[in-house]
Amino acid sequence: MEYNTEQLALHASSWSEPSLLGFDLSTLHPAWQRLAECRGIGKDDPMDNPFFPVQGDMAATIAAKAMCDRCKVRQECEAQAQTEEGGTWAGLSERQRRARRETRWQERHG
Ligand code: SF4
């Protein structure tokens, strides 16, 4: 699977280290990501991240969504993820996020 590395870099699961070579990486991430249930997942192998699984790997997607169900910052995550195009964010697939966006748009513009 092709990963969108820019997208993965923004996802809470990719944030595991507070600093790298003296540079404070926390400045690149919203503060709520410190409390993310998925923080650090896939840090040893970014290609093994259930939030960005190989296409069709339902077990990975189910595992990611279960983590989101336990997460304390799901609302913050969903707010950030509204325009993200790949992966699981806040327990939602790309299609589910798009559907929610469309519903909100309909509610506002009727
Ligand atoms: S809701 Fe899910 S994707 Fe978002 S920070 Fe929590 S565990 Fe990670």
pLDDT digit string, tens, across residues 38-80: 998 988 887 789 999 988 899 999 999 999 999 999 999 999 8
| Cα of 81 from ligand 1 centre, angstroms | 10
Alpha carbon separation from 87 to 21, 22, 71, 90 (Å, rounded): 29, 30, 16, 10
Q: What is the DSSP string of 12-33?
A: GGG---SEETTEEGGGGS-GGG
Domain range annotation of the chain: 5-109
Å from CA of 67 to ligand 1 middle: 7
Q: Helix, strand, coil % (nearest 5) of the chain?
A: 50, 5, 45
Q: Which residue has the tokens 């509610």?
A: 107
- 15, 51, 69, 73, best to mutate for ligand 1 pocket (most atoms within 8 Å of CB): 73
Q: Looking at the chain, how many residues does it have? A: 110
Q: What is the pLDDT of residues 95-110, one digit of tens each?
A: 999 999 999 999 999 8
Task: Give residue 15's pLDDT.
Answer: 72
